[in-house]
């Protein structure tokens, strides 16, 4: 399964539903969006929405090609598939399961179904699914949908904390960047809303080596900001306690998987740079950073070494390495850059990003970051991004370059269209 495509389908599903005063109606719109966006990939062709009333779940409405039923059918919360869904979040089963009530499922016209508990057990979604789709794919995809829906429901209760979340986010973005050895660093993060779901970090590792991270939580807003805060804390604690990189990432993944507060999935790229040019990295489902070699001018993509954080507690992550020579450049970015669209629906894309990096490869990292933001702003023609945008450029100076003054986190230049409403970009000191 393509994880980035899966996450985009989840984002489209959430974007298709607007919060309403009636939480049941919000969940109902979600069911319709799931059928529309996952029908082909997951073989979902119908479904039902139940609302919990004491120790029962009461049928409220059906969707898609599910058998027509009069609302009001009550199913005990002790029914085994429901109990498993409440305990695990999702349960996929069919009529071969001895715990299934075949008479009940025959009334519903069901042969195989995936039950999802959302809203802290207040709602149960039961989707009719094709027998050809592997249970593992259903668990992964619908598990992400369930977590995202829980996040959306909770966000309506937590929006009063938005200013505190923004303060937290500003506090975790570095105000100044290190300048180790002959490395030149620059970074900027621009949220689509007052609070974003992107973050970057630089971690001193002793001597003049350092770690660099970039992360992108699904969606944006309050819950995404809380999620990246957890990633930030987990990364800092793990690296600070001298845990191995892969062990640290796997530990963060398990924490996110158990969490019931956040949207529960995030992509993360983390690399450790030595002053001799050696680099080791782990890529947890993040957009592949670009490594531009000075010799030959060729690009290498630093592809994922594991899946996104959160959906699977048992995910494992490998690590890879490369040698960074003087004049080489690494660009980390989130999909708010490459997937920025103009008014005709065209994406900014990897080609434009590569051309900018090639043109700017001998320029300071700060100028390169500003040029990327300027280019995306002019391309979209919008004053603020529609998705969080984060760029980190790490460049190794050549021997004939003079080492400049201490580097600070980049803020957008005059033409980069900073966010409206007086909010400075993340990574800038609060005003």
The pLDDT score that the predictor gives to residue 66 is 86
> Any idea what the Cα angle at residue 413 is, between residues 270 and 343, rounded to 5°?
85
Can you list the domains of the chain with their CATH numbers? Answer: 3-159 (3.30.450.40), 173-396 (3.60.40.10)
Q: In terms of DSSP bridges, do strands 183-190 and 123-129 run parallel, antiparallel, or are they unpaired?
A: unpaired
Rama region for 169: left / alpha / beta (φ>0; ψ in -120 to 50; rest)? alpha
pLDDT in tens, the chain (431 residues): 555 666 666 666 656 555 444 667 777 877 788 888 777 777 888 889 999 999 999 999 898 888 888 889 999 999 999 999 998 889 999 999 999 999 999 999 999 999 998 877 889 999 998 888 888 888 877 877 777 677 666 665 555 455 666 666 666 778 778 888 899 999 999 888 766 788 899 998 877 789 999 999 886 666 777 788 889 888 988 887 666 899 999 999 998 888 765 556 899 999 999 999 999 999 999 999 999 999 988 999 999 999 999 988 899 999 999 999 999 999 999 999 999 999 999 999 999 999 999 999 999 999 999 999 999 999 999 888 888 899 999 999 998 885 554 444 544 433 344 333 333 333 333 33
For residue 165, what is the DSSP state? H
DSSP structure string for 251-319: HHHHHHHH-SSS---EEEEEEEE-TTSEEEEEEES----EEE-TTT--EEE---SBPPBSS-TT-----
Q: 372 and 392 in contact (C-beta within 8 Å)?
A: no
Q: In terms of Cα–Cα distance, which of 81, 244, 173 is closest to 426? A: 173
Q: How far apart are CA 126 and CA 109, in angstroms?
A: 12
Counts of helices then strands in the chain (DSSP H, E): 11, 16
Strand ordering across the sheet containing 299-301: 183-190, 389-396, 329-333, 290-292, 299-301
* pLDDT for res 283: 97
Q: C-alpha distances in angstroms, 166 versus 50, 192, 195, 427?
A: 36, 13, 5, 12
pLDDT score recorded for residue 429: 33
Q: Which pLDDT score, from 0 to 100, does residue 140 have? A: 79
- C-alpha distances (whole Å) from 304 to each of 3, 210, 282 are 11, 21, 7
Distances (CA, A) of 418 to 188, 339, 353: 11, 18, 20
The rounded Cα 356 to chain-centroid distance in angstroms is 25
Residue whose pair of structure tokens reads 């021997």 in the numeric block: 399
pLDDT score of 401: 81
Whole-number Å distance between alpha carbons of 77 and 71: 17
| DSSP 3-state percent helix, strand, coil across the chain (nearest 5) | 35, 25, 40
- Compute the distance between CA of residue 340 and CA of residue 63 in angstroms, rounded to an integer: 33
Task: Say how many CA atoms lie within 13 Å of 179 toward its Cβ.
Answer: 13
Contact between 363 and 410 under an 8 Å Cβ cutoff? The reply is: no
Q: According to the model, what pLDDT value does residue 65 have?
A: 86
**Of 249, 239, 145, 232, which Cα lies nearest the Cα of 189?**
232
């Amino acid at each position: 399964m393509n994880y980035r495509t899966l996450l985009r389908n989840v984002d489209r599903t959430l974007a298709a539903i607007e919060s309403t005063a009636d939480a049941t109606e919000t969940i109902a719109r979600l069911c319709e969006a799931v059928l529309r966006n996952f029908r082909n990939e997951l073989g979902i062709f119908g479904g039902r929405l139940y609302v919990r009333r004491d120790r029962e779940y009461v049928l409220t409405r059906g969707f898609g090609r599910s058998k027509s039923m009069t609302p009001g059918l009550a199913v005990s919360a002790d029914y085994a598939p429901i109990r498993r869904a409440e305990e695990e979040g999702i349960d996929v089963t069919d009529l071969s399961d001895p715990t299934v009530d075949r008479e009940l499922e025959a009334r519903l016209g069901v042969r195989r179904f995936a039950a999802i508990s959302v809203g802290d057990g207040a709602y149960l979604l039961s989707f009719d699914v094709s027998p050809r789709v592997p249970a593992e794919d259903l668990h992964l995809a619908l598990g992400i949908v369930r977590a995202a829906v829980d996040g959306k429901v909770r966000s309506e209760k937590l929006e009063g904390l938005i200013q505190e979340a923004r303060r937290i986010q500003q506090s975790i973005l570095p105000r100044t960047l290190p300048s180790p050895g002959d490395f030149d660093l620059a970074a900027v993060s621009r949220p689509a809303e007052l609070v974003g779901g992107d973050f970057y970090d630089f971690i001193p590792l002793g001597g003049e080596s350092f770690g660099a991270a970039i992360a992108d939580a699904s969606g944006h807003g309050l819950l995404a900001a809380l999620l990246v805060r957890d990633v930030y804390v987990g990364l800092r604690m793990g690296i600070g306690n001298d845990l191995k990189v892969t062990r640290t990432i796997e530990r963060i993944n398990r924490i996110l998987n158990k969490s019931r507060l956040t949207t529960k999935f995030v992509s993360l790229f983390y690399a450790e740079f030595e002053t001799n040019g050696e680099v080791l990295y782990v890529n947890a489902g993040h957009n592949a950073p670009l490594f531009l070699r000075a010799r030959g001018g060729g690009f290498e993509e630093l592809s994922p070494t594991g899946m996104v954080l959160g959906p699977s507690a048992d995910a494992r992550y490998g690590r890879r390495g490369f040698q960074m020579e003087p004049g080489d450049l690494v660009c980390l970015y989130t999909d708010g850059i490459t997937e920025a669209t103009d008014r005709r629906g065209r994406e900014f894309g990897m080609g434009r990003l590569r051309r900018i990096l090639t043109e700017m490869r001998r320029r300071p990292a700060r100028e390169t970051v500003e040029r990327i933001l300027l280019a995306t702003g002019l391309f979209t023609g919008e004053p603020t991004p529609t998705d969080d945008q984060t760029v980190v450029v790490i460049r190794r100076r050549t021997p004939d370059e003079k080492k400049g003054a201490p580097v600070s986190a980049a803020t957008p230049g005059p033409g980069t269209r900073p966010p409206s409403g007086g909010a400075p970009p993340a990574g800038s000191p609060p005003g």
